[in-house]
Structure 1
Amino acid sequence: MYPSLLSKKILIIGSVWPEPKSSAAGSRMLQLIETFLSLNYRVIFASASTKTTNSFNLEDLGVTQQAIKLNHSSFDTFIKPLNPHIVMFDRFMTEEQFGWRVATCCPNALRILDTEDLHGLRKGRQQAHKEGKPFSLKYLFNDTSKREIASILRSDLSLIISEAEMEILKNHFNVEDQLLCYLPFMMDRISDVEIKNLPKYSERDHFIFIGNFLHDPNYHAALYLKKHIWPLIKRKLPKSELHIYGAYISGKVQQLHNEKEGFMVKGFIEDFSHVMKNTRVALVPLSYGAGLKGKIVDAMINGTPNIMTPIAAEGMFGDMRHCGFIEDSPEQFAHMAIQLFESESIWNDCQSHGFEVINKRFLKSHHQKKFSELLNQALLDIEINRENNFIGQLLQHQTMQSTKYMSLWIEEKNRNQIN
C-alpha cells in the first residue's frame, strides 16, 4: 500500500558526498534531494566515502546524514529499523555494493538507480577515441556496460538523464520502458527580469572552459583547446583570453597555463556563475563522454553562448535551436567561436535560444510533476513489475551474486585480521 505523506522515507546511498560547486553530478544530486523533499519525503543520505571541504552540508536542507561502511554488516543493522519506502543508489557501483543488502533487509523497498550518465557508454567512447577508431557496438558492449545494465535490470526504476541514452538502452540493450525514467536536469524558470539584469554583449569579454578535472574528458578537452583550437582563435583575436576554471586542478592541468598565450588556468572558484555571466563565449570541445553536460546548462542560465562538439551537445537540445554552434573539426570550431565572439547580433540570437531551452526542456516544475506521477505508480505496481522482470529476478539468484559473496568474503577477512 502506498505510504502516507507523513511516513514516507527515502534512503539515498551516495557514491560520494555531493559537491554542487565541483561537478554537475553534485548539482544533479541536490536537485533529486530537493525533489524528494518537495514530495514530502524524509530524506536520509548515506555514503561510505570521505567528506571533502567542497562537500555540501545536507543538514541545511533538513536531510539526515549517515556515514556507512563498505563490506560491513553494520549497514544491515542501520537499514533494518529505518525501513525506508525507497532506496536510491547513486550510480551502478553503489547498487553493486549495497543493492543485495537492501534487497535482503528491506525487500519491499522500491529500489531506484540514478545512473548520472551511462558509464559504459563513456568508457566505450573513451576507448574508441584512444584507439583512433569510430565508436561502434564493439566498444559499447564493454565490461562496464555489462555491469551497468545488470544493475539497471536488478533495480525497480532507473533515472536516465539524457533522451539519447534512453534510446541506447531501449534499442541496443532491450531494456523495458517500465524500468526507465527520463529525468534530465531540473532548473528554475529564467524570468524576464533575470534576463534583463544579466551583463550585455558589450559588457562581457574573453572565453571560458569549466569542468571538474577529476573527470578525464575535461582534462582532454583542455589539452585539445591548448594544442588545436586556442592558437587559431588567438591568432585572429590577439587580445582575447581563455579562462580555465574547475575543481581539482592537477599539476598537468596547471602546466597548461601560459599568460603570453592568453591561456589562463584559474582553478576552483566558489561563485562560477559570476565569471560565467561576465564571459562572452563558452568553449566545450569534448571528444568523448556521456550524459548531459552541466557546463552547457550553466552557460545557458548565465546567458553565455556555447561552441560545442557533437558529444558535448548530445541530448541537450532535442528539436530546439542551439545556444550557439556545434562543430567537430578544430578549424571550424575556432572559426565559429570567433564569429560568435565578434557578432553581437548572432550572439544575442544564440543567447535567447539558450533561455528557451532552459525554460522549455529543463523546467523543474514540469519534470518534478511527471516524476512524481511515475514514482507513485511504481510504488503501487512494485510487485507486478518485479514479476514481469524475469531477467531482474535471475540476476538476484545466488548463482549471479558475485558482488554479494565477494563483499561477505572481504568482511570475514577483515574480521579475522582484527582478531
Structure 2
Amino acid sequence: MKIFEKTKTTNGSRIIKRYKICGVTVLKKDIDNKRRKIRLFGVPIFYNKKYKHDKRLKFVNDVKIKKYEFVPKIIEFEKCENPLVSIIIPVYNQIEYTKQCLYSILMSNEKALYEIIVADDNSSDRTKEILTFVKNIQVIRNESNLGYIKNCNNAAKYAKGKYLYFLNNDTVVQDKWLTNILSVFSNKKNAGVVGSKVLTGELCLQECGVYIFSDIFYAHYGQNANLEESNYVKECDYVSGCSLMTPKWLFDEVGGFDEIYSPAYCDDPDYCLSVKELGYATYVQPKSVIIHYGSVSYSGDSNELMRRNNEILKRKWKHIFDIKTNFKNYKVPYTDKKRPKIILVIDDFYPQYDKHAGGRTIYQFIKAFLKMNMNVKFCPLMAEDKEEPYYSELTQMGVEIVESTIIKKWIDNNPVEYIFLSRPQVAMQFMTKSLVNRGIKVFYYGHDLHHLRMSRESHVKGTNVQKEIDRMYRIEKTAINSCSMSFYPSIREKEYVEKNIGPRVKVVPPYIYDESQVFEHEKFEISSDLIFVGSSHGPNKDGLLWFLREIFPIVLKKIPDIKLNVVGSEIDAEVNSYKSNNVVIKGGLSDSELSSLYSKVRVSIAPLRYGAGIKGKVIDAVFHGLPVVTTSIGAEGIPPCDFISVSDNSVGFAELLIELYSSAEKWEYSRLSQKAFIAENYSMEKVVDVFLEEMDTSFIDNE
C-alpha cells in the first residue's frame, strides 16, 4: 500500500481529486462548472457555488456546449414532407450567422421531424443565394423589408408543422434542444409557449424565462448557467422570441405577433400574455440550450424602440402589471402579489422509485404535492452527486433541487411554509422545534417504525443490539413529538405511536396507483410460476433465503416444474448461488418490464419474517392482479382481503401456495375485488385528502 496517493477522475464536466494517506481519503476536491467543494476527512470545509462569465464552460444541464468555427460550404438537410415542427428563422443579412445557426441544427442529433423556413426580409448580402449552398430548406423572400415582427407573421403562413418554432439566426442550438422543448408540451397539458435556456456568447445566462415584476423584468441574466434555480422546468411570464415554440393553431387564434410593436421588440411578452389570457401557460425548458449572440440584424435605435414598445405593452396589459409584486430573488418564478405555498421535501437520497419502496413513496408524495398546486423543493440530504434519472425526472416535473451543502442557509433565507422530513436519520439533522417556533409547519414521515423493525430482526436472528434499538427509539420519539404532525403508512403504526410515543400521528397511504398503467393479466391456464420482488436488503434477503431453504423444497415435491423469478436491483452472491432451473435471477427490471412479468406469473410471494410498515411488494402485486402468499409481517397494516393468504410457518406457507397455484377456482376468486381494493385504499385522491387535512394550499401574499 502506498503511503501517499493522489488520484484524479472525471465524469462529464466534473473533476474529482482525492488525496489518500495509507489508503484513507483525507482530502477530496470536487470541481465542475457549477461548484467547488472541498472535504477534509469527509467534512465539507469549502464550498463555492457561483462562477459567472466562464468561457471554459463545457456542459450546461449535462449538454455539451458546441460552437462551430468551421461551417462547410454545403449544408444539406433531409427532406421532410410531414414535419411536426416548422422552424422559422427570420433573417436580414448576416449570412455567416445564419450559416452557423443552420449548421448547428444539422449537427444537433435531433430526431424530431422538422422543416426549416428561412424568412429573408429582403437581404442584400449572400442570403439571396442561400439555396445554392443550403439544401432542402424553404426560403420566403420579401420584396421589401417588413421588419422582424411582420416577417415572422408572414413566414408562419407557409408552415406545415403542428408547432411553430421561432429561432433567431444569431443562435447556435445544442444537442436535442428541440426534442426537449417538445417534451414540455407532452408533459404539461396547459403549455401554450415553451422557450429555452439561452446563453450569451460568453456562456453565462442571458435568460431562463423572463419574469415581470412591478419594478423590473428579471431573467437570471449574468448568472452561471448551471445554478439549480435555473435548472428546472417552470412557468414564467414570457420567453424571448429568439427561441419560442407554440402550437400553430394557438398562434393563429391569437393572431400572431401583434404588429403594433413593429418593427421589433416586446412582441414576445405580448404574445405570451395573450396566450395566458386564453388559459395557457408559458414554460422554460432548461434542457433546451442555445447560444444567442443578440440583435445582430437590427441596426436602428433599439433603446428608443424598446422604450416606446414597453410603454405600449404596459398600457395594453395594465390589468396584468397591476397584480405584480416587487422583485426579490427568492420570489422567482412567482411574480404576482399572491403565490403558492412552498413545501421543502428532505430525504436521505434521491427518490429511487424503481429500486426500493421508500423511494417510490417519496416520489409519489412529491407528485401529490404538485397536484395540490404547491411550489415543491427537494433536498437529497446525503447525496453527494446528482443521481440519474431521478434528478432529471424531478426537475422536469417542476421541482427545484436544493443542494445539501446549503440547505440550512437556504431555509434561513427563503420563505417556506412546510417542511416534509423523510426518515429518522434525516429528521435528526434538524432543530425541528426551532423551525416550528419560526412558524414553519414541519411534517415527519417515518416509512416504518425503525426501532420496531430492528427489535423484530434481533428476535429472529438472536442478536443483542438493544442499545441500537433504544437509540433509534429516542430518535423516532424526538422526531414525532417535535414536529407539527407525523405520518405513517398504516393504522397499526398509528395505534403503536399513540400508545407508546405521542398523539400527533396520522395514516397516509404509502403507495399511489393508476389503473390505466397496469398490464392486463393472463388467464389462469396461461400464467405460470412465482415472483419475489426485493433487493438483498435485510428483511428481503432473510425472507427469500428462508423460502428457498425451507419452503420451496416442499413446493417442488408437488409442482416440480415451477419456477421462482427473483427480481431486485441488488442481488448478492449468496442469493445468486441458488440460481437453477427452478430459480431464475432476473435482477433489476424497469417498471414496464416488471409489469410485463407480473402479467405472466401466477402467484407472488413475500416470505418476510421481520420488518415494519406496509410492504410495497405486496400492494404492488395486488395492483397487478396477483394473489399473494405472505406472512403476518408481510400483511401487516393492510386491510383484510381475500387475495392475501397468510402463514408464518414453512409447512403452512407451502400448503397455501400449492393450493392457490393449483386451483383455478381459488385463484380466480381471490382476484375478484382487487381493483376496488386498490382504488379505495391507494389512490392519488386518498393521499391528497390526507395531506389537505394538515396543509392549507391557498395562495398567500408574495411580499
Which residue is equivalent to 2:402?
66
Which residue is equivalent to 2:383?
49
Question: Contact 1:189–1:358 at 8 Å: present in 2 too?
Answer: no
Kindly state the Cα deviation for residue 152 of structure 1 after the two structures are TM-superposed: 0.8
- DSSP 3-state at the match of 2:637: coil
Which residue is equivalent to 2:585?
265
Structure 1 stretch displaced more, 356-365 or 14-23: 356-365
User: Comparing both structures, which one devotes a greater share of its residues to strand?
Assistant: 2
Which residue is equivalent to 1:212?
535
The equivalent position to 1:110 in structure 2, one of 435, 438, 441, is: 441
Q: Tell me the distance in 1 between the aligned counterparts of 2:487 and 2:684.
A: 15
Which residue is equivalent to 1:284?
606
Kindly state the Cα deviation for residue 84 of structure 1 after the two structures are TM-superposed: 1.1
Question: Contact 1:92–1:115 at 8 Å: present in 2 too?
Answer: yes
Kindly state the Cα deviation for residue 355 of structure 1 after the two structures are TM-superposed: 2.5
Q: Tell me the distance in 2 between the aligned counterparts of 1:369 and 1:105.
A: 23
The equivalent position to 1:326 in structure 2, one of 646, 655, 679, is: 646
Change (3 A) 1:55 1:235: farther
Amino acid at match of 2:496: I
Q: Tell me the distance in 2 between the aligned counterparts of 1:194 and 1:28.
A: 18
Change (3 A) 1:346 1:5: farther
Q: Tell me the distance in 2 between the aligned counterparts of 1:82 and 1:64.
A: 13
Which residue is equivalent to 1:19?
352
What percentage of aligned pairs have identical amino acids? 24
Question: Contact 2:433–2:483 at 8 Å: present in 1 too?
Answer: no
Question: Contact 2:635–2:644 at 8 Å: present in 1 too?
Answer: no
Question: Contact 2:509–2:686 at 8 Å: present in 1 too?
Answer: no
Kindly state the Cα deviation for residue 305 of structure 1 after the two structures are TM-superposed: 0.6
User: Comparing both structures, which one devotes a greater share of its residues to helix?
Assistant: 1
Change (3 A) 1:200 1:211: same
- DSSP 3-state at the match of 1:13: strand
Q: Tell me the distance in 1 between the aligned counterparts of 2:396 and 2:682.
A: 25
Amino acid at match of 2:348: S
Kindly state the Cα deviation for residue 143 of structure 1 after the two structures are TM-superposed: 2.3
Question: Contact 2:621–2:628 at 8 Å: present in 1 too?
Answer: yes
TM-score (norm 1): 0.79
Amino acid at match of 2:339: L
Change (3 A) 1:277 1:256: same
Does 1:100 pair with 2:434? Answer: no
Q: Tell me the distance in 1 between the aligned counterparts of 2:414 and 2:642.
A: 46
Which residue is equivalent to 2:136?
none
Q: Which runs of 5+ in 1 are unaligned?
A: 378-419
Write out aligned runs for 1:99-248 (5 A): 99-100=430-431, 103=434, 107-131=438-462, 142-173=470-501, 175-176=502-503, 179-188=504-513, 190=515, 197-213=520-536, 215-248=537-570
Kindly state the Cα deviation for residue 352 of structure 1 after the two structures are TM-superposed: 2.0
Kindly state the Cα deviation for residue 187 of structure 1 after the two structures are TM-superposed: 2.7
Q: Tell me the distance in 2 between the aligned counterparts of 1:142 and 1:131.
A: 17
Larger RCO (CA within 8 A; separation ≥ 6): 1
Which residue is equivalent to 1:255?
577
Kindly state the Cα deviation for residue 218 of structure 1 after the two structures are TM-superposed: 0.4
Amino acid at match of 1:150: T
Q: Which runs of 5+ in 2 are unaligned?
A: 1-336, 698-703
Question: Contact 1:158–1:181 at 8 Å: present in 2 too?
Answer: yes
Residues 238-276 of structure 1 show CA distances to partners (whole Å, capped at 9, x for unaligned) of 1110011011122222222223xx122221111311111
- DSSP 3-state at the match of 1:331: helix
Structure 1 stretch displaced more, 26-35 or 356-365: 356-365
Question: How many residues are aligned here?
Answer: 357
Q: Tell me the distance in 1 between the aligned counterparts of 2:642 and 2:569.
A: 27
The equivalent position to 1:336 in structure 2, one of 651, 656, 673, is: 656
Change (3 A) 1:339 1:375: same
The equivalent position to 1:350 in structure 2, one of 661, 670, 689, is: 670
Higher Rg:
2
TM-score (norm 2): 0.48
Question: Contact 1:299–1:305 at 8 Å: present in 2 too?
Answer: yes
Kindly state the Cα deviation for residue 5 of structure 1 after the two structures are TM-superposed: 7.2
Question: Contact 1:79–1:105 at 8 Å: present in 2 too?
Answer: no
Question: Contact 1:282–1:305 at 8 Å: present in 2 too?
Answer: yes
Kindly state the Cα deviation for residue 42 of structure 1 after the two structures are TM-superposed: 0.8
Question: Contact 1:307–1:336 at 8 Å: present in 2 too?
Answer: yes
Does 1:375 pair with 2:703? Answer: no
Question: Contact 1:124–1:142 at 8 Å: present in 2 too?
Answer: no
Amino acid at match of 2:340: S
